[in-house]
Amino acid sequence: MTVGVAIILALTFTPYALVSRARKAVDAYIEVPASPALVELARATPTPTPAFDLVKWYSERGDDPARHAVLVQSFDGQATLAELNADSGFNPASLVKLTTSLVALNRLGKDYRFETKVYVDGTADKSGALNGRLIVAGDDPTFGDFNVTLISKKLAERGIRKFAGELVVTPDFTFNFGDKPDESATRLAKVLKYNPKTVTVGDAPAGEPAFVVQSYPLSDILLYMNAHSSNFVAQHLGALVGGPDGVRSYLLSELKLPPEQVTLSTTSGLEVNRLTPRGLVAVIRALDAEARRQGLQLVDIMAVASDDYGTLRKRMVGTPLEGAVVAKTGTLVHDDGGMA
C-alpha cells in the first residue's frame, strides 16, 4: 500500500516544533510519482488555504510568526497542509547541503570517486627501506586512516616497508578533515609509521603514479555529508561544481528559482545564505528525481531519523516517526541564523 507523504520545510530564527502524520516505513516515504523534468519539479503548485493555522499556533506559544517560515506539502505538490511565509527568504543553515548534493550528483554522478595518486621516486633496498621521495597527490576530503592502510599495503607489495626520505603532499591534500596540507602530511607519516627526513608541500610530478587509491563513491560521501552535516566535505564537494556561484547558477537555470530568493555565500550553509521554504521544497523534489534517474533513493544520500549515525541519530526515538523520516537538519545560531 502506498502511504501519502509530506515535505516539511521550516526556516526559523528560534527553535520550533511541528508534528506531522507518521509514515509507517521509509520505503513508503519514497513512493512518489515520477516527474518529467526538474523544471516541473521546481514549479510552485497553487495551494488552497491550509487547514492548519500556523499564525495562531506560533502566537499561542509566544512566538512572532514573522520570524518563521514553514511549508508542509504532499510530495507531489497537490496538497498543502500548512504554509507560512513560504516565499520569504530565511537562512537555511545546513539545508544548503541539499543544494550541494543536488548539483554534485547531477554534475559528477553517483559513482564519482576521488583519486589519491601515489608516486614513488627511488627503489627500496634489501631491507625494504626507501630513501628517495614519496609523493601523495589528491583532494579527497574523506581521506583518512583507512586510505592510509591501503597505501601502506600497496607500498609493502612493492617491497617498501620503511621510509626515511622526503615525503611530499600536494597543496590540496587533506587528512582526517584537516585543511592544512603540511599538518596533514605529518599525520600521514605518523599513521604510516614512517620517519621521513623532510615533509614538504609541492606539486605532483609528471607521468603515471605508482598506484591510485580511490574514495568511496559519491553516493556514500553524500550520505555521510548529510547525515553528519559535514561542512568540510560540503565545501570541498562544492568547489568541484563551481562553488556557491556554480550551485546558485544551477538552481536558477535548472530549477527556475527566482534570483531574488537565492543567496549563497557557501556550499555548506555556514555564513549568510538565503532560501525560501518553497525553493527548498523544489530542491528536495529535484534531488529525489536526480537520485531516481541514477538508480538511487533519497535514503541512499540522506539520513533516516533514529537509524543513521549523525545529527538525526537520536531524533524521534520512541515515536511513530522513528525510522520513518528521511531528513536533513540545520542549525546556525551564531551567524544570522537559528534553526532550519
> What are the structural domain ranges in the chain?
6-110+218-327, 121-214
**Architecture, CATH, for domain 6-110+218-327:** 3-Layer(aba) Sandwich (3.40)
Q: Could you tell me the pLDDT band of residue 277, with boundaries at 50, 70 and 90?
A: very high
- The mean pLDDT value of the chain amounts to 86
Residue 35: the pLDDT is: 42
Residue 236: the pLDDT is: 97
| Cα→Cα distances 224→118, 123, 260, Å | 25, 38, 31
What's the predicted TM-score (pTM) here? 0.84
What is the spatial distance between Cα 339 and Cα 9, in angstroms, rounded to a whole number?
A: 11
Q: Could you tell me the pLDDT band of residue 75, with boundaries at 50, 70 and 90?
A: confident
Residue 24: the pLDDT is: 30
Q: What is the CATH number of domain 121-214?
A: 3.50.80.20
Q: What is the 3-state secondary structure (H, E, C) of 235-287?
A: HHHHHHCCHHHHHHHHHHHHCCCCHHHCECCCCCCCCCCEECHHHHHHHHHHH
Average pLDDT over residues 138-146: 96
How many angstroms separate the most distant Cα atoms in the chain? 80
- The letter for the amino acid at 254 is E
